[in-house]
């Protein structure tokens, strides 16, 4: 709707750059443009005179019921006729057709997120980036982008060896009753003992007697990866592809040769260094150690080389905030490999702090020293978890008390939004006119201005979705759904709807509100409720 109006104004006024705003005070209209103020500098005229010349070009259009000049701004109030047409178009689209999965835009995007090491169950810190990435994909596909989602499995390197050693030592101690000495770095928690028990059942005690660390590493990694997939599926997240770091190392020599041929590496102190400082990194980075083993950075270089060979237009990585210093060295490697690093976008997820009844949330016994995603889902439910995790910018700290989500009032946003939707469905079920779609032009503008303002708000959904996606500010959709629900509750409490002369017209507006709530929640990965 906004795009259509903006395009119309640009054509009529013959301008390319037109600002279209939404006044906070609806008494000033649905939209406002400072075009008279903008043109005043170019035309060297008083903006009030320019506004007087513009208004006659607009006020006879059936799209507007009122066009007026307020301090150089041209304020535009949409007509009930236009709002009615927009409402019909909105309601005639099924929810399935709104949740587009086809590509309508030229841009192909590769979106990588979560990518947690398969050395343990998903903890609550992983969940924030996971939910954000999944929702970003949903919004992008709705807008017509061709988005492929990917999970990068860090299954090479010391952490996987440490997992195998941890399982071995747990098996010796808890299953074979042997005395063991643990190293400084190892994985602990009940899940390690569970893997050891499973390995005992599958391979027998010989796997521990023979100290088969590599076999235990692979076995433990595979079990953890399946658990991670199950955890993600439990909150509605699946991936188009999984890429193994271990498999990618078959391309290491090819990647190294490419870097060498492009004069991107050098040898010093027995190590191989990447010239990352040439592209903005604070210093050069080691990619091969003295012992000839590649560093953690080497795996990421191969992965991004492989990514860019797949010819997407844009690449998005969602990483933890602790990877901030890692961005420039990856971008430097991309440049050295002959690609434009501007096509890589990295979004950082800040930490999550959980409370319960004002006290720190208890750590999981199974995991040892962190809060499991599955435990929180069991506590507050998938819908509440997704909404809360999306309600703040990803780059800001998130702290919330899970006990607040047990409240059934406006302080619990997911309850308040669903309550609005269920109220609308109750109205529709009680009305004898629920199947009758009426024309909104029958509304008395004086008596029903609040209803039309609610309708206008309900039809801002597409604009909010586009803004949330383009700005990577998914909390905008959460804020919008709270605002729309609050607007509905306010209208519901102030106005009688059933058994009134305009019952059919008001129910039509309520349908639009419900449609926006349902679609908005679905894009957040939440199933809207029709009963409470």
Give pLDDT, residue 375: 92
Q: State the sign of the Cα–Cα–Cα–Cα dihedral 79, 84, 87, 88.
A: negative
279 with 332: CB under 8 angstroms? yes
Give pLDDT, residue 434: 63
Mean pLDDT of residues grouped by 10 in the chain (532 residues)? Answer: 91 91 90 93 89 92 92 91 90 62 73 95 93 98 96 93 97 96 93 97 97 97 97 96 96 96 97 97 97 94 97 96 94 98 97 93 81 92 96 94 88 95 96 74 72 94 96 98 97 94 91 96 97 90
For the domain 408-523, what is the CATH code?
Answer: 1.10.730.10
What ranges make up the beta strands (E) of 265-373?
265-268, 271-274, 285-288, 314-320, 344-349, 352-356, 359-360
Element (H, E) at 206: helix 206-209
Query: Residue 234 and residue 381: Cα distance in Å, rounded?
Result: 10
Query: Residue 263 and residue 272: Cα distance in Å, rounded?
Result: 12
Query: Residue 274 and residue 296: Cα distance in Å, rounded?
Result: 13
Q: Which of 406, 453, 394, 424 is nearest to 528 (CA)?
A: 424
Query: Residue 362 and residue 372: Cα distance in Å, rounded?
Result: 10
What ranges make up the beta strands (E) of 279-404?
285-288, 314-320, 344-349, 352-356, 359-360, 398-401
Query: Residue 288 and residue 285: Cα distance in Å, rounded?
Result: 9
pTM value > 0.75? yes
- Taking the CA atoms of residue 126, residue 479, residue 357 and residue 134 in that order, the dihedral angle to the nearest 10 degrees is -20
Domain boundaries, the chain: 2-78, 108-156+237-349, 158-231, 408-523
Q: What confidence tens digit (pLDDT) does each residue in 142-192 have? A: 999 999 999 999 999 899 999 999 999 999 999 999 999 999 999 999 999
Query: Residue 103 and residue 107: Cα distance in Å, rounded?
Result: 9
Give pLDDT, residue 101: 46
69 with 36: CB under 8 angstroms? yes
Helix/strand/coil for 401: strand
Give pLDDT, residue 42: 85
Give pLDDT, residue 95: 55
Q: Which fold has domain 2-78?
A: Gyrase A; domain 2 (3.30.1360)
What ranges make up the beta strands (E) of 19-78?
31-33, 64-70, 73-78
Half-sphere exposure of 224 (CA within 13 A, CB side): 30
For the domain 108-156+237-349, what is the CATH code?
Answer: 3.40.50.620
Give pLDDT, residue 409: 85
To 5 degrees, how large is the angle CA 110–CA 112–CA 114?
Answer: 160
To 5 degrees, how large is the angle CA 349–CA 355–CA 358?
Answer: 145
Give pLDDT, residue 105: 72
Average pLDDT, the chain: 93
Q: What confidence tens digit (pLDDT) does each residue in 80-102 have? A: 889 999 998 888 875 555 555 44
Q: What are phi and psi of 265, to 5 degrees?
A: -135, 160
Residues in the chain: 532
Query: Residue 80 and residue 75: Cα distance in Å, rounded?
Result: 16
């Amino acid at each position: 709707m906004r795009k259509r109006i903006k395009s119309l104004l640009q054509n009529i006024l013959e301008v390319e750059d037109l600002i279209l705003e939404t006044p906070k005070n609806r008494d000033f209209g649905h939209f406002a443009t400072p075009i008279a103020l903008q043109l005043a500098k170019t035309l060297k005229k008083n903006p009030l005179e320019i506004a007087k010349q513009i208004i006659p070009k607009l006020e006879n259009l059936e799209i507007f019921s009122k066009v007026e000049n307020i301090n150089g701004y041209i304020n535009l109030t949409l007509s009930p006729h236009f709002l009615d047409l927009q409402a019909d178009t909105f309601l005639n689209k099924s929810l399935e057709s709104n949740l587009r999965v086809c590509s309508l835009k030229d841009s192909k995007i590769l979106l990588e997120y979560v990518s947690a090491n398969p050395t343990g169950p998903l903890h609550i810190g992983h969940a924030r980036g996971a939910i954000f990435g999944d929702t970003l994909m949903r919004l992008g596909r709705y807008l017509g982008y061709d988005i492929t989602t990917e999970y990068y499995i860090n299954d090479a390197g010391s952490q996987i060896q440490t997992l195998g050693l941890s399982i071995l030592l747990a098996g010796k101690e808890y299953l074979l009753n042997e005395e063991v000495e643990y190293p400084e770095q190892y994985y602990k928690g009940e899940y390690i003992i569970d893997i050891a028990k499973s390995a005992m059942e599958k391979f027998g005690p010989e796997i521990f007697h023979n100290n088969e660390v590599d076999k235990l590493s692979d076995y433990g990694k595979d079990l953890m990866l399946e658990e991670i997939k199950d955890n993600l599926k439990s909150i509605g997240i699946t991936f188009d592809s999984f890429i193994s770091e271990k498999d990618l190392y078959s391309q290491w020599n090819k990647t190294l040769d490419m870097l060498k041929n492009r004069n991107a590496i050098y040898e010093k102190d027995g190590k191989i260094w990447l010239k990352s400082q040439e592209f903005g990194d604070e210093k050069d980075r080691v990619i091969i150690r003295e012992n000839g083993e590649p560093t953690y950075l080497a795996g990421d270089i191969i992965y991004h080389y492989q990514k860019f060979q797949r010819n997407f237009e844009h690449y998005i990585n969602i990483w933890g905030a602790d990877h901030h210093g890692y961005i420039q060295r990856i971008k430097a490697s991309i440049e050295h490999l002959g690609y434009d690093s501007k096509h890589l976008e990295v979004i950082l997820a800040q930490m999550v702090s959980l409370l319960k009844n004002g006290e720190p949330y208890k750590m999981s016994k199974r995991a040892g020293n962190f809060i499991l995603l599955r435990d929180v889902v069991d506590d507050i439910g998938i819908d509440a978890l997704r909404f809360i995790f999306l309600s703040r910018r990803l780059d800001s700290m998130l702290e919330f008390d899970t006990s607040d989500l047990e409240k059934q009032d406006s302080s619990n946003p997911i309850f308040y939004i669903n309550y609005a939707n269920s109220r609308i469905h109750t109205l529709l079920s009680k009305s004898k006119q629920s199947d009758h779609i009426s024309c909104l032009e029958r509304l008395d503008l004086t008596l029903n201005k609040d209803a039309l303002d609610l309708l206008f708000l309900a039809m801002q959904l597409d604009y909010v979705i586009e803004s949330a996606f383009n700005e990577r500010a998914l909390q905008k959709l959460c804020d919008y759904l709270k605002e729309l629900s609050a607007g509905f509750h306010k209208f519901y409490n102030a106005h009688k709807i059933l058994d009134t002369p305009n019952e059919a017209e008001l129910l039509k507006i309520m349908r639009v509100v419900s449609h926006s709530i349902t679609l908005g929640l679905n894009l957040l990965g939440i199933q809207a409720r029709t009963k409470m």
